[in-house]
């Protein structure tokens, strides 16, 4: 519980503006952000390394490292749930970044990091930190219902009632449980932890079965490594590549942007507050920095467990 205790001072931090005061401060922050990108470079293949580095340069300076206003109020509870249901997760900051990806249309939006954040379209309804989703077929029948699926995954979620769906604690537990389950179902060889989280987030957004089908397209190809998501499995998919009405992008684009947005665009701002958990044989001082970049202003809509976007 040491990490949770260390978060006690978080409310003081998030109460101050994160805007950089001077050009000198801005340059220093940019250098720090780019230095953190080097951590990603040590874990990803060289082709992806250059792409991520260019993205860090492009977005770090204009956007800064702004933390959403409501994040500090919920981060300690998120860490507590992760420690409870997913104790072997090293990158708590990745799940915090995912909450931002799911709930924040922009960092200043009133529903950013809010359990009452909602998405409504003619085919789906999603709510909360993780945009827990119900999707309907054209004839009005239910295609899938993640809220009901979650209640079968975890004892504490079993009694969760629809009228109480905005309960922040239950939402945080649900996002931890669903990610953990997807992560642990990845039983094939994966190159490293960052790549494994990329597979996990692709599954959260577009369905675990869809990830397996897309990986099968990669397997056996000379130009594709099925143990790596970035630059490999992510290139091959059964997902629709035409722009879907009401979304502005194809389901393929939305799903492929999702792991990048979570791990490389959003996670760095949370890494200072939620550093990687040390391995049993690793001293805290030797921990790497998380990758650095910053927020985008658009967030993909939710569609857990489907082959369409989340």
pLDDT tens sequence across 267-293: 888 887 888 887 665 444 333 333 333
Residue 150 is assigned to a structural domain of this protein: yes
* CATH number for the domain harbouring residue 31: 1.10.530.10
Q: Are 70 and 24 in contact (CB under 8 A)?
A: no
What lies within 8 Å, CB to CB, of 217 at 6+ separation is: 236, 237, 238
With pLDDT > 70 as the criterion, what percentage of the chain qualifies?
A: 68
Residue 291 is assigned to a structural domain of this protein: no
Considering just the CA atoms, what is the radius of gyration of the chain in Å?
A: 19
Q: Are 259 and 102 in contact (CB under 8 A)?
A: no
* Distance in Å from the first CA to the final CA of the chain: 32
d(CA 110, CA 116) in angstroms, rounded, equals 10
With pLDDT > 90 as the criterion, what percentage of the chain qualifies?
A: 46
pLDDT of residue 249: 84
What confidence tens digit (pLDDT) does each residue in 79-107 have? 999 999 999 999 999 999 999 999 998 88
Residue 49 is assigned to a structural domain of this protein: yes
Which stretch of DSSP H or E encloses residue 74? helix 71-85
How many separate domains does the chain show?
1
d(CA 117, CA 41) in angstroms, rounded, equals 34
pLDDT of residue 281: 56
Residue 100 is assigned to a structural domain of this protein: yes
pLDDT of residue 56: 52
pLDDT of residue 48: 56
Backbone angles phi, psi at 134, to 5 degrees: -115, 135
pLDDT at 199 over 70: yes
Question: For the whole prediction, is pTM greater than 0.85?
Answer: no
Residue 78 is assigned to a structural domain of this protein: yes
Residue 308 is assigned to a structural domain of this protein: no
pLDDT of residue 220: 87
What lies within 8 Å, CB to CB, of 40 at 6+ separation is: 49, 52, 194, 263, 264, 291
User: What SS3 class is residue 246?
Assistant: coil
What lies within 8 Å, CB to CB, of 25 at 6+ separation is: none
Domain residues for the domain of 121 are: 2-281
Residue at token pair 């630059």: 231
Q: Is the dihedral of CA 64, 110, 117, 129 positive or negative?
A: positive
Cα–Cα–Cα angle for 66, 67, 72, nearest 5°?
160
For the chain, percent helix, then strand, then coil, each to nearest 5? Answer: 50, 5, 45
pLDDT at 20 over 50: no
222 C-beta neighbours (distance < 10 Å), count = 4
d(CA 232, CA 53) in angstroms, rounded, equals 18
Sheet holding 124-127, edge to edge: 118-120, 124-127, 132-136, 142-145
Give the burial class of 45: count Cβ atoms within 10 A of its Cβ; 0-12 exposed, 13-18 middle, 19 or more buried. middle
Max mean pLDDT range (105-119, 138-152, 157-171, 264-278) = 157-171
Q: In this predicted structure, which of 45-49, 73-77, 154-158, 275-279 has the lowest mean pLDDT?
A: 45-49
Q: In this predicted structure, which of 55-69, 111-125, 126-140, 256-270 has the lowest mean pLDDT?
A: 55-69
What confidence tens digit (pLDDT) does each residue in 227-252 have? 999 889 999 998 888 887 767 788 89
Residue 60 is assigned to a structural domain of this protein: yes
pLDDT at 145 over 60: yes
């Amino acid at each position: 519980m040491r990490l949770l205790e260390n978060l006690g001072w978080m409310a003081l931090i998030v109460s101050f503006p994160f805007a950089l005061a001077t050009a000198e401060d801005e340059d220093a922050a940019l250098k720090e952000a780019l230095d953190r990108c080097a951590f990603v470079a040590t874990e990803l293949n060289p082709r992806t390394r250059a792409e991520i580095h260019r993205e860090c340069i492009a977005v770090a300076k204009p956007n800064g490292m702004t933390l959403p206003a409501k994040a500090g109020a919920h981060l300690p509870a998120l860490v507590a749930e992760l420690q409870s249901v997913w104790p072997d997760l090293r990158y708590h900051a990745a799940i915090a970044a995912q909450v931002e990806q799911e709930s924040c249309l922009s960092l200043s939006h009133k529903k950013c990091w809010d359990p009452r954040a909602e998405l409504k379209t003619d085919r789906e309804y999603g709510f909360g930190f993780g945009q827990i989703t119900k999707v309907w077929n054209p004839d009005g029948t239910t295609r899938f219902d993640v809220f009901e699926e979650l209640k079968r995954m975890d004892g504490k979620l079993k009694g969760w009632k629809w009228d109480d769906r905005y309960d922040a604690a239950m939402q945080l537990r649900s996002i931890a449980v669903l990610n953990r389950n997807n992560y642990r179902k990845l039983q094939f060889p994966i190159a490293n932890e960052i790549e494994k989280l990329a597979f996990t987030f692709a599954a959260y957004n577009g369905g675990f079965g869809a990830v397996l089908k897309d990986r099968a397209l990669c397997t056996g190809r000379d130009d594709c490594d099925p143990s790596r998501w970035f630059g490999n499995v992510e290139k091959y998919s059964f997902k629709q590549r035409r722009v879907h009405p009401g979304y502005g992008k194809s389901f393929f684009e939305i799903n492929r942007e999702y792991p990048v947005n979570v791990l490389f665009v959003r996670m760095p701002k949370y890494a200072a507050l939620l550093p990687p958990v040390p391995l049993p044989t690793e001293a805290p001082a030797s921990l790497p920095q998380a990758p650095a970049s910053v927020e985008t202003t658009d967030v993909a809509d939710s569609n857990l467990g489907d082959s369409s976007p989340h």
